[in-house]
Amino acid sequence: MLTFNVYDRVFFVRGERYGTAFSLDVDGRQYLISARHVVGGESVRELKLFINKQWIDFPTTVVGVGRGEIDITVLAPSQRLSEDIELEPSLALMLGQDVYFAGFPMKMHANAGELMYGRPMPFVKKGTLSAGWDPDDHVKRLYVDAINNEGFSGGPLVFQEHITGKLKVAAVVSKYKTEDEPVLDKDGEETGMTVKYNTGFLVAYSIKHALDLIKINPIGLPVATDA
C-alpha cells in the first residue's frame, strides 16, 4: 500500500520518451529524478509534465547524469513540484521483502481530479526484492521479482522500513531484464530467428547514485521553510 507522500511526488513526463519521474527533497532543496533514457542526459532538450490533461513545458537544469549503465538523471526544477510531505531515501531494506513501484505504464494513468492538483494518478505494482548488488561492482543495482512495463522507467522503487514503518525510496526504476527465445516453425523446429521476452525481473539503480550526483552539484530548488 502506498501513501500520499509517494503519490504526490510521482509525475508523468515526456522527454526523449514517455515515462515517470519523482521529486525528492535533499538538504532543503528539491530535485526531480528520472531515468536517463526517459528525460535525456547532459542536455535535456525539452521536458514536459502532464497536468490538467495536457502537456506543459517544464524548464529544468541538469544536476547530474549517471555514468555507464547507471540509468539516472537528476534535474533541478524551475518551480516547486511537491509540498512538505516527507519521503526519504534509504537502503535499509532486505532481500525477500515487498517493494513497490509507481508510474505510467504504456502511457496509462487514472484521473485523480482535485486530489492530485490536476496531475494523473500513477499505477502501482508490487514485487519482491530478489537480489542486490555485488559489493565488488561499482554499479549498485537491485533486481525485483515483478513484471515491469514500458513507462514505469524513472519512477521510484519504494519499501516500508521495518523499524519506522515509513515508506522510503530505495532506487530508480530503469528496465526489465530480457532474454532471447528462439522462434519455432509449425513443426517445432527453430527458424533461426529470436524474439525478446520479459523475464519478470525489474532492474533499478540505487538512489545512492542520485544522492552522489546531488552531493557533487547541490543546485536544487530551495524549499526549506526554517531559518
Say yes or no to pLDDT of 101 above 90: yes
Say yes or no to pLDDT of 49 above 60: yes
Say yes or no to pLDDT of 77 above 90: yes
Q: What is the pLDDT of residue 147?
A: 84
Burial of 174 (0-12, 13-18, 19+ CB in 10 A): buried
Q: Quick one: three-class SS letters along 128-139?
A: EEEECCCCCCCC
- The residue ranges of every structural domain in the chain are 4-222
Of residues 73, 92, 72, the one with CA closest to residue 139: 72
- Spatial neighbors of 208 by CB under 8 A, at least 6 apart, are 89, 91, 140
pLDDT band at 180 (very low <50, low <70, confident <90, very high): low
CATH 3.50.50.60 corresponds to the domain 4-222:
no
Mean pLDDT over all residues of the chain? 88
Question: Pairing between strand 156-160 and 221-222?
Answer: unpaired
- Spatial neighbors of 147 by CB under 8 A, at least 6 apart, are 125, 176, 198, 200, 202
pLDDT one-digit tens code per residue, 109-150: 888 767 778 899 999 999 999 998 777 778 999 999 998 889
Quote the pTM value: 0.89
